[in-house]
């Protein structure tokens, strides 16, 4: 029996291919890992090529999450260009929960591409893994991320906030029950 945390890849959507990272993705990753605006609200440093190489080396093995606490990290490949324009992540958290993460390259924002990747990873989280809830931990001021979460049915959940001092975040939660009744398009 296949571990649900070893997802069948790639996951295809209308405009995207969600897949394991490859060494050949390095040039694409350098573009957004080196962008200080993109990383402003992420617990990532701004990375030069060498640091991006180190980060990619880890991501190569994160196409599955065998143990609690592990992150599943999928490259977001834009089908039209074949370029990796971001990543979408799901951490295997305790108690049948997951933490979601997402990044898209700055020149690909505002097209609903992150949203398309989030729709696919939520379907995987709830329908394949069988999670009871997914949390998004969002830095204060990251309005684009909060809007994206709210559009997918997430609700503010102060009980799960992670307080400072380094990287305080506001928690947003999407429960299975709410996911089942939420129409992301109607909520857009
Ligand atoms: C957070 C982030 C992924 C959001 O990206 P995004 O492109 O704004 O998100 P979406 O894919 O949902 O696109 C939504 C926007 O595109 C617009 N849009 C255009 N075409 C669209 C379509 N076909 N479908 C949906 N939205 C569309 C929407 O109106 C919306 O604009 P708005 O947010 O100004 O209302 C992006 O800003 C990012 O990578 N930030 C840096 C990394 C980061 O902070 N990640 C989150 C950490 S918690």
Say what the pTM is.
0.96
pLDDT recorded at residue 180: 96
136 near 155, Cβ under 8 Å? no
pLDDT recorded at residue 90: 98
> CA 152 to CA 141: how far, in whole Å?
19
pLDDT recorded at residue 169: 96
Q: Give, for 19, the enclosing helix (H) or strand (E).
A: strand 16-19
The residue whose CA is least distant from atom 17 of ligand 1 is: 110
pLDDT recorded at residue 183: 77
DSSP string over 36-98: HHHHTTSS-----HHHHHHHHHHHTT-S---STTPEEEEEEEETTT--EEEEEEEEEETTTEE
Low-confidence ranges of the chain (pLDDT < 70): 185-188
For residue 35, count other CB atoms closer than 10 A to its CB: 16
> CA 157 to CA 53: how far, in whole Å?
35
Closest to 158 (Cα-Cα) out of 186, 137, 180, 175? 137
Ligand 1 atom nearest to 104, measured from its CA: 39
Residues at CB less than 6 angstroms from ligand 1: 38, 41-42, 102-104, 109-115, 138, 142, 144-145, 147-148, 188
Query: In sequence order, what are the residues at sequence separation of 6 or more whose Cβ sits closer than 8 angstroms to the Cβ of residue 30?
Result: 47, 49, 52
How much of the chain is in helix, strand and coil states, percent to nearest 5? Answer: 35, 25, 40
Cα of first residue to Cα of last residue in the chain, in angstroms, is: 37
What CA–CA distances, in Å, run from 10 to 63, 99, 115? Answer: 10, 20, 17
Find the farthest-apart pair of alpha carbons in the chain and give their distance in angstroms, rounded: 45
The residue whose CA is least distant from atom 29 of ligand 1 is: 110
Radius of gyration of the chain (CA): 16
């Amino acid at each position: 029996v296949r571990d649900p945390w070893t997802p069948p890849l790639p996951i295809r959507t209308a405009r995207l291919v969600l897949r394991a990272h490859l060494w050949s993705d390095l040039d694409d990753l350098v573009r957004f890992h080196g962008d200080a605006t993109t990383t402003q609200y992420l617990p990532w440093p701004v990375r030069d090529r060498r640091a991006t190489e180190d980060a990619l080396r880890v991501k190569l093995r994160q196409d599955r999450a065998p143990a609690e606490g592990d992150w599943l990290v999928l490259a977001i490949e834009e089908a039209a260009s074949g370029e990796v324009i971001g990543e979408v992540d799901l951490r295997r958290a305790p108690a049948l929960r997951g933490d979601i993460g997402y990044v898209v390259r700055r020149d690909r924002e505002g097209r609903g591409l992150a949203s398309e990747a989030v729709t696919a990873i939520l379907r995987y989280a709830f329908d394949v893994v069988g999670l009871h809830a997914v949390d998004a931990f969002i830095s204060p001021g990251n309005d684009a991320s909060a809007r994206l979460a709210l559009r997918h049915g997430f609700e503010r959940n102060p009980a799960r906030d992670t307080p400072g001092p380094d990287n305080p975040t506001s928690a947003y939660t999407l429960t299975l029950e709410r996911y089942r009744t939420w129409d992301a398009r109607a909520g857009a």
